[in-house]
Structure 1
Amino acid sequence: MKGNMLAMNKTRLFGTACFAIAFAAIVSSCGDKTTRSTGWEFSRNMYDPIGYNPDQPNKNFANGQTAQTPPEGTTPVGFERFDYPNTLEGYEAASVNVHNPLERNEKNLKEGAHLFQAFCSPCHGPEGHGDGTIVNMEKFPPPPSYATGNSSRGGLMKDLTDGKIYHTITYGLNLMGSHASQLSPEERWKVVMYVHELQKK
C-alpha cells in the first residue's frame, strides 16, 4: 500500500513537472507585441553569407562596387558567344556562316518538336502554319507559315537557313521576342532542326 502511494506521488510529481514545463514554453513563445524578435536562431552563420551581394558596397575595389564589369573579351561560364549582331547584315552573315552543329537524328528531332510545341506553337501553330492559340484569340496577327509564307526580311519561309532561324530565335523579330533566355544554344539548334521539318509540310 505504501509502495503504491509512493509510485502515485512520483507519477503526479512527474506529470506536474511536465505540465509546468509545457506551460512555460507556451507562455514564453507568446510575444508581448512590443518586439519583433524571433528568439534564438540556430546556426546564425547560415543566414549571413560571407560573400558580398552584387549590390553591396565593397571596399576591396577602387570604385567601391561589388559587381564589376567583366574584362573585355571574356565569356561567362555556360554562355555561348554568338558573334552576329542583331542587324540585317548580321542576319545575312549568319545565314552564310552558321550551321547546325548537332547531328540530325531521331532523338534531337523529338526534343526539338517538344521545345517547339512548348515555346513556339502558341504563335506559329503546331504545324508551323501561323495558326497558334494566341493568333486564334485574335490578339496578334498570324506569323507566316514555314511552308508557304513570305519572310518579312525577304524570301520564302521554306528557304530559311540554319543561321537565319537561329539568329531569329536568338534576337527575335517584329512581334516575336528573343528566346535566348528561355532556350539554351543547344535547345535552339534542336528547334532549328525541327523547323526544317515543318518547312516541308
Structure 2
Amino acid sequence: MKSIYKIAFLVGITILVSSCKDDAQPNYQYMPNMYEPVSYGTYSQAAVFKGGKEGQLPAEGSIKRGFEVYEYPDTPDALIAVKAANLKSPLGPLSDKEKEKAKALYEIYCAICHGNAGDGQGKLVTQGKFLGVPGYKDREINEGSIFHVVTYGLNNMGSHANQLSKKERWMVATYVMELKSK
C-alpha cells in the first residue's frame, strides 16, 4: 500500500512539474533586458527626434571626421581659377619612396584610361570603351588643375576624392607632371 502511495505521489509531482513547462514561452527569464531590449529597432521611428523624424541632420557647418577642406568649388570657373593661380603641391619634391607610391597610385586609378605613359592610350581606350581621353603632353595643365580634376572629376572622369586622400591626390598630380615632362 505504501508503494502505491509513493508511485501516485511521484506521478502527481511529475504531472505538476511537466504541466508548468512551456517550450514556446518560458516562465522565467534570467536577465529580462537581454530578451526584451529597450533599444530602438533598426530604421524605426522614435519619439526622441523632433517632429517624428527618423533621424537628425548634422549641425550646420559641420564636416565629417578626417575631411580636409578644399577652398575651390566644383565649377568650371573654379578650374580656370586654379589653372590661373598655378597652384603647387604643398608636399614639395617627392622622395623616392613617395614617387614609387605615386606611380603605383597612378597605375591603379589613372593608367586604365590615360595609359602608363600618360599618352591617353590606356587599356579602356585601346579596347574602344572610352574615346577622346586626353594625353598630358597636349594639354595646358599644372599640379593644381590636376589636383582639382582628380578631386572633383571632369567630363567622363569621376571624382577620386573618396579613393585617394588629399596627400595622395597631390602625389598623383606631381607624378602626372613628371609624365608630361617626359
Alignment partner of 1:118 is 2:85: no
Structure 1 residues 68 and 99: alpha-carbon distance in aligned structure 2, compared to 1, 3 A threshold: farther
Q: Matched residues, percent identical?
A: 38
- Once the two structures are TM-superposed, the CA of residue 83 in structure 1 deviates from its matched residue by 2.5
Aligned positions of 1:1-201 closer than 5 A = 55-95=43-83, 96=85, 98-104=87-93, 105-147=95-137, 149=138, 157=139, 159-201=140-182
Query: For 1:3-39, what per-residue CA distance to the aligned partner results, in whole angstroms no more than 9, with x for missing partners?
Result: xxxxxxxxxxxxxxxxxxxxxxxxxxxxxxxxxxxxx
Tell me the TM-score normalised to structure 1 length.
0.64
1:7 corresponding residue in structure 2: none
Structure 1 residues 101 and 140: alpha-carbon distance in aligned structure 2, compared to 1, 3 A threshold: same
* CA distance in 2 between partners of 1:169 and 1:81 (Å): 15
Tell me the TM-score normalised to structure 2 length.
0.70
Q: Is the 8 A contact 2:82 2:148 kept in 1?
A: yes
* CA distance in 1 between partners of 2:52 and 2:144 (Å): 42
* CA distance in 2 between partners of 1:93 and 1:69 (Å): 33
Structure 1 residues 186 and 58: alpha-carbon distance in aligned structure 2, compared to 1, 3 A threshold: farther
* CA distance in 1 between partners of 2:87 and 2:47 (Å): 45
* CA distance in 2 between partners of 1:103 and 1:193 (Å): 9
Structure 1 residues 198 and 77: alpha-carbon distance in aligned structure 2, compared to 1, 3 A threshold: same
Query: For 1:144-186, what per-residue CA distance to the aligned partner results, in whole angstroms no more than 9, with x for missing partners?
Result: 1112x2xxxxxxx2x4122211110111111111111221212
Query: For 1:129-148, what per-residue CA distance to the aligned partner results, in whole angstroms no more than 9, with x for missing partners?
Result: 0010000101111411112x
Structure 1 residues 69 and 164: alpha-carbon distance in aligned structure 2, compared to 1, 3 A threshold: same
Structure 1 residues 199 and 52: alpha-carbon distance in aligned structure 2, compared to 1, 3 A threshold: farther
Q: Secondary structure at the match of 1:199?
A: helix
* CA distance in 2 between partners of 1:146 and 1:52 (Å): 53
Q: Can you give the 5+ residue segments of structure 2 that lack an aligned partner in the other structure?
A: 1-32
Query: For 1:76-125, what per-residue CA distance to the aligned partner results, in whole angstroms no more than 9, with x for missing partners?
Result: 10111123111121112333174322132222221111000001000000
- Which range is displaced more, 126-135 or 72-81? 72-81
**Aligned AA (1:123):** C
